[in-house]
Amino acid sequence: MLTEGAFTPERPDGAPDLSGLVKGYAVQEAGAALASLGLTDWCLNAGGDVLVSGSPIVGTAATWQAGIVDPQDRGTLLAAYPLGGGTTARALATSGSAERGDHIWTRATGPSEFLQVSVAAADIVTADVLATAIVAGGLPMLNRATDGWNVQVLAVRRDGGLLATPGFRA
């Protein structure tokens, strides 16, 4: 398993809960459907998981700007990340407890050290899985993800502190 068991698709009672995996896959399939229709410039947003193609200004290399909301103040924007256009990142996924409460099942005990994690990647499934895995696996999984995948990460600690890879600090 690529995330070394950082999270599991089963609730603590053993029942399957694929909600942490299905949304990214559904967004990927919706994007493929748009592409199959010959559409080249679009943005999909499914509950904070964003996938883009092309540019918001047709015929240019302008990037889409995906906003990341502060989990402690839903009215505040923490950051914006450029997607599409001339960049390699086409997807941004955010996982955590701010929207749906604690719902990420982990093998570890106690709450995650992160309230929220956003991952920018070339594809939405990678972004979605790694965002969830980092919330579940904490700092060790964040380090594994940034060492093993071409991604950028913005993690919000429980005390409000931020950890950001260079792409989020630019």
Summarize pLDDT for 27-53 with one digit per residue, the tens.
999 999 999 999 999 999 998 899 999
| Pairwise CA distance, residues 14 & 41, whole Å | 42
Side-chain half-sphere exposure of 56, counting CA atoms within 13 A: 10
Contact 136, 109 (CB under 8 A): no
Contact 24, 49 (CB under 8 A): yes
Q: What is the pLDDT of residue 22?
A: 83
Contact 116, 135 (CB under 8 A): yes
Judged against a pLDDT cut of 70, whether residue 170 lies above it is answered with no
Judged against a pLDDT cut of 70, whether residue 139 lies above it is answered with yes
Delineate the domains of the chain, giving CATH numbers in brackets: 19-169 (3.10.520.10)
Contact 160, 120 (CB under 8 A): no
Q: What is the pLDDT of residue 151?
A: 98
Output the 3-class SS for the chain: CCCCCCCCCECCCCCECCHHHHHHHHHHHHHHHHHHCCCCCEEEEECCEEEEECCCCCCCCCCEEEEEEECCEEEEEEEEEEECCCCCCCEEEEEECCCCCCCCCCCCCCCCCEEEEEEEECCHHHHHHHHHHHHHHHHHHHHHHHHHCCCEEEEEECCCCEEECHHHHC
**Sorting pLDDT into bands at 50, 70 and 90, what band is 70?**
very high
Side-chain half-sphere exposure of 135, counting CA atoms within 13 A: 24
Average pLDDT, the chain: 86
pTM (2 d.p.): 0.88
